[in-house]
Amino acid sequence: MTDDEQSCLVSRLSRFVSLTDAECAFIEEMERDEHPRRKGRPVVSVGDVTEGIMVLKTGWAVVKADSADGRSQILRVYLPGEVMGLAEIGSTHANHRIIMQTDGKICPFPRTGLAPLFSDYPRLGALLTALGSLDQIALRHHASSLGSMDAANKLKFWLLQLRSRLEVANVGLGNRFRVPFSQVEIGQAVGLTSIYVNKLLRRFVDDGDIEIDRPYFRLLKRDEWEKDCEFVNAFHDMDTSWFPPAHNEKPTRTADMSASTGS
């Protein structure tokens, strides 16, 4: 696989370790069965039988929950190169629905196909486990922000975390990044009304905190925001010291995960 053809999942994982050709070949197998999905179409519905995981090869997706009064909440955003379903691998049925946020491609991969991760590619299995752990930490930070921050900092925190996750995926380096969400959908992610989101975004622009050129946002005062929110980048430091070596390979060091300061 050439650099131009490198998958988002390979690119994402390569930020932490240098993948071997065999590990890249296994990931390529995970992504072999491609299914295009249009924006707004369901990927998984509540109660569906789950038979494995799915690689989000291209595009964005969201996990949604619906209340009895018809309101929706966005619980999680999936980015290109992320693996959907790892956290739910022990359940036979879907507990939440996943919707495509943009056009994209998904690659289903059965549970039975994951067995070689533990026998033939133990380092890759450890890496996916560790990355899933960091995802859960990031989700907890987000949940904490919703319960403890004022409205402005909730929105700041969500944008900061989205930027940091896009950096890991190598699809949003620097301070300018894509945000393919309406103000209603942003509100669903941070627990605010669309009117309040609009008010806050206009204030951020007027104060010189951000620039907006839909669908792109540029954070102009990221350092200040991070201090205001006591923001912790869950993906900045992964402990790879416990990883088993790749078969027939020497142990690798953690890739450089220093935060980008580009704009």
Strand bridging mode 83-84 / 52-58: antiparallel
DSSP code at position 93: B
pTM for this entry: 0.88
Q: What are phi and psi of 52, to 5 degrees?
A: 165, -145
Two structure tokens written together for 36: 């295009």
Helix (H, G, I), strand (E, B) or coil at 119: helix
DSSP code at position 15: T
User: Is a pLDDT exceeding 80 seen at residue 251?
Assistant: no
Could you tell me if 246 and 252 are in contact, meaning their C-beta atoms sit under 8 angstroms apart? yes
pLDDT digits (tens, 9 = 90+) for 55-77: 999 999 999 998 777 789 999 99
Domains and CATH numbers, the chain: 3-229 (2.60.120.10)
Select, from the ranges 11-25, 200-214, 244-258, the one with the highest average predicted confidence (pLDDT). Answer: 200-214
Query: Which alpha helices (DSSP H) does 73-221 contain, by range?
Result: 115-119, 122-148, 151-168, 183-190, 194-206
Q: What are phi and psi of 188, to 5 degrees?
A: -65, -30
Angle of helix 222-229 relative to helix 151-168, nearest 10 degrees? Answer: 120
* 81 closest CA partner among 173, 181, 174, 168: 168
pLDDT digits (tens, 9 = 90+) for 185-215: 999 999 999 999 999 999 999 999 999 999 9
Task: Please tell me the total number of residues recorded for the chain in this structure.
Answer: 263
pLDDT digits (tens, 9 = 90+) for 144-177: 999 999 999 999 999 999 999 998 876 666 899 9
Two structure tokens written together for 76: 């999680």
What is d(CA 163, CA 3) in angstroms, rounded to the nearest whole number?
23
